[in-house]
Amino acid sequence: MRWKPGGQSGDIEDRRGERPAGGGFGRGFGGGGMRLGLGGFLLLAVLSIVFKQDFFALLSGGPGATVGPAPSGSTRREPSAASRASEDQRVQFVSFVLDDAQATWSRLLPDRYERARLVLFTEAIQSACGFASAASGPFYCPGDRKVYIDLSFYDELQRRFGAPGEFAQAYVVAHELGHHVQNLLGIDHEMRRAQQSRPDLANTLSVRLELQADCLAGVWGHSTNERGILEAGDVESGLNAAAAIGDDRIQRSAGRGVQPDSFTHGSSAQRVKWFRRGLESGDVAGCDTFRARNL
């Protein structure tokens, strides 16, 4: 991607090194309205492979599901100067993507868009949706309208899932901002109401929400391509990232049989299809997964 380092975005909250006071990590991955992000599925797959346990069961584990020990009290652990320096470029890149994507959405939805905040954290964080550990991966919390990212997730994206490249990293941020757009437009709220009235369709509705966020991420990608920001190979990098976190591929990599009824984010083919649709069309109206007959 063609971009120039420009410092840290004014919409970023840097909470790296903080540890949340009280409560610990004892929470389910989907509780409190938190949308389990792209990184959540990738990291759950990693844990399942490494420990040979089904960490995906935590998705429905509710408040009793825990990851790691609970911290005692609130402390702040400052990263070393070398560690900070190594993350500076990532912070500036995420800042560029965040500012560029939000400027795009401000143009596309001039009367509706309100800027989100992006929180950088390490290990664990407390949001309006509750506590989350780094195993949650990047996620969006509608309760405070913030995106949360532990930057170490990008190492897993490249090393374990074969999705390198800056546009793959940008796709993660753009997808979570897609959830922010859904929240502002009331789509997220309506989906949750539908899930409550039709619990038998809860997973199906979740898939449609996630695929729409993929498509909305593609709409921003379309804008960057029109402005000459994308370079050769960037589109393939983004599509590769979308394919890497399909429910079917994640289940296979974790040693599980593919169970379509349990999908909550969509198959690799579906995620690629909807991300590509946004990339090629740049049309928000074309991202209506809830009316689509064939996902």
The answer on pLDDT for 26 being more than 90 is: no
On the question of pLDDT at 49 being above 80, the answer is no
Confidence of residue 4 (pLDDT cuts 50, 70, 90): confident
The pLDDT value recorded for residue 21 is 62
Q: What is the mean pLDDT of the chain?
A: 80
**Structural domain spans, the chain:** 12-287
Structure confidence at residue 40 (pLDDT): 53
Q: For residue 249, is pLDDT > 70? A: yes
As a whole number of angstroms, the distance between CA 15 and CA 10 comes to 14
* 55 pLDDT higher than 50: no
- Is 111 a residue whose pLDDT tops 90? yes
Residue 93 has pLDDT above 80, yes or no: yes
CA distance 135 to 150: 9
* Residue 213, phi then psi, degrees to nearest 5: -65, -35
pLDDT greater than 50 at residue 58 = no
CB 143 within 8 A of CB 32: yes
Least-confidence region, from 1-15, 29-43, 233-247: 29-43
Rg over CA atoms, the chain: 18
pLDDT beyond 80 at 29: no
pLDDT higher than 50, residue 275: yes
88: confidence class by pLDDT, cuts 50, 70, 90: confident
Span 133-163, pLDDT tens digits = 887 789 999 999 999 999 988 888 787 777 7
Q: Which of 25-34, 48-57, 63-72, 122-131 has the lowest mean pLDDT?
A: 63-72
